[in-house]
Amino acid sequence: MSKQTEGIKALVERRNGAKLGGGGKRIEAQHAKGKLTARERLALLLDEGSFEEYDMFKQHRCTNFGMEKTKFDGDGVITGQGTIDGRQVFVFAQDFTVSGGSLGEAHAQKICKVMDMARENGAPLIGLNDSGGARIQEGICSLAGFGEIFERNILGSGVIPQISGIFGPCAGGAVYSPALTDFNIMVQDTSYMFLTGPAVVKSVTGETVTQEELGGASVHASKSGVAHFSAASEQEGIATIRTLLSFIPQNYRQKAPDLPTSDPVGRVSDALNDIIPDNPNQAYDMYGVIGQIVDDGAFLEVHRNWARNIIVGFAHIGGKSVGIVANQPKVLAGVLDINASRKAARFVRFCDAFNIPLVTLVDVPGFLCGTQQEYGGIITNGAKLLYAYGEATVPKVTVTLRKSYGGAHIVMSCKQLRGDVNYAWPSANIAVMGASGAVEILCSKEINAIEDATQRNAVRDEKMKEYDELFCNPYQAASYGYIEDVIEPRNTRFRIARALVQLENKKQDVPARKHDNLPL
């Protein structure tokens, strides 16, 4: 056998060994936990045969605590590039079968390389996290590695889309990389995120809590808002990543790809003419409105289980990707609170960063009141949403369906925040507040001075009717040019689609500055 042949044979054997990660027993242990391996995840994520792996043979250089005796090719992370639906992406997937997927110097260098390549080539970055955290044996080198990764997350923010899949443990400093990315996907029962684990929590606070209760998918999807998506399985989580990419562009210079549809742009929806209840205090489901105006009723909701009084997500209208922000009257009457403001602000800023037009559906009675909200900073948090809409330069189309009161009216993409096309349904009430509250403030002395209860109620009703006629309709706003048109609800899809076409080449300058200083 020639040296060349022997060399090729050795290469093949070493490559096959590297693909086994920590070996058969550790792979079996991974499967026993209901988890896929790193390579199995990448096979599901990427188009078949498209993966080009980098640094397969990279190893750590640590000699502390006997680490020189434990070396694996790849050092616990698989990195490279491939395609999803034919579009280039850069990926890394931590391999829990090798040293628990722990991060050391070489491990971090591999991740940093693909992060740099993603930014330089203008392609999305997808990280699949499954790691025990910093490799303790490497000390400061592990911490430095995390710092290098975080810096690249920051440099790539708003330049390329960054998506994190949490498919196992993600604890300590490791949580900050996913927190810096645009979207996080977690898997129920097998993934968790927290800064300190249950044992440390117990020793410091005395609180007894499980990993799932402390940082499981359900916690972060419904309570903290850290997770944008919660999947029932890894397969569902990976499918969500692929679907998410179909709505967003490769980088900030490009637009999201169009998606051909057989759903006519001019389709009318008679159901919308009857969706608003006669009673202004009665709820209806905003999902019913969204489903009628988007292509084929398809809507990818973000943060479905967190701050449910506002809805955000992606859809296509006329084949074009849009970001939808909508108040939800079925939850807290659609009022804006701290979490709803934060949720919507972050989404609006993502859409603006990546050239995705915004469609805003408004039915908001105001901001949530009370000491809990005021102490928690509703003023600053509400200002985040106001700021996000005000700075956004993408096409913005707003439709007011019913209530649009007070400061919440301003915050929800009004004309004064550079809304491009603002429509209203005939049922829209655009005012400082509702008639009942307004009359109570404006006419309370006059009304309360009337001794006869029947007459007092009659005067109150008359004043409320007067206020309704003046303000609780869309026509005063239309008379000032604050809305472009009052439209028939059944035509909403067509009017939005046409506005988006008209705004397709919109250009809007902003003042020169180093960077903004939004209220954090």
Q: How far is CA 359 from CA 305, 414, 484, in A?
A: 21, 12, 15
Please spell the DSSP secondary structure of 66-97, one letter per residue.
GGGG---TTTTEEEEEEEETTEEEEEEEE-TT
Q: Catalytic: 173?
A: yes
Which residue is catalytic, options 408, 435, 438, 499?
Answer: 408
pLDDT at 14: 86
Do residues 253 and 123 touch, judged by C-beta distance below 8 A?
no
pLDDT at 481: 93
Which residue is catalytic, options 22, 100, 101, 172?
Answer: 172
Q: What would the two tokens of residue 393 be?
A: 């330069």
Q: Across-strand partners of 83?
A: 88
Q: If DSSP codes are grouped into helix, strand and coil, which group holds residue 418?
A: coil
Nearest to 391 by CA among 217, 46, 158: 158
Alpha helices in 85-139 (DSSP H): 105-121
Measured between alpha carbons, how far is 282 from 330 in angstroms, rounded to an integer? 9
Q: If DSSP codes are grouped into helix, strand and coil, which group holds residue 404?
A: strand
pLDDT at 57: 83
- Spell out the residues 6+ positions from residue 167 whose beta carbon is closer than 8 angstroms to its own: 35, 36, 41, 128, 129, 130, 187, 190, 191, 234, 237
**pLDDT averaged over consecutive 10-residue blocks of the chain (520 residues)?**
83 86 89 95 98 89 74 87 98 92 90 98 97 82 92 97 96 91 96 90 91 94 97 98 98 95 96 94 96 97 98 97 98 97 98 98 96 96 97 98 94 96 95 74 73 73 76 87 96 98 92 91
What percent of the chain is helix, strand and coil (3-state, nearest 5)?
A: 45, 20, 35
Q: Catalytic: 172?
A: yes
Sequence letter at residue 339: N
Q: If DSSP codes are grouped into helix, strand and coil, which group holds residue 297?
A: helix
Length of the chain: 520
Q: If DSSP codes are grouped into helix, strand and coil, which group holds residue 289?
A: helix
What is the end-to-end Cα distance of the chain in Å, rounded?
67
Which residue is catalytic, options 139, 158, 376, 407?
Answer: 407
Q: Across-strand partners of 320?
A: 317
Q: Catalytic: 407?
A: yes
Query: At residue 469, what are phi and psi to the nearest 5 degrees?
Result: -65, -35
CA atoms within 13 A on the CB side of 183: 29
pLDDT at 459: 66
Q: Rounded to the nearest 10 degrees, how much is the dihedral formed by the CA atoms of 62, 114, 234, 85?
A: -160
Q: pTM to 2 decimals? A: 0.94
Which residue is catalytic, options 122, 139, 158, 173?
Answer: 173
Query: At residue 195, what are phi and psi to the nearest 5 degrees?
Result: -75, -40
Q: Across-strand partners of 299?
A: 315
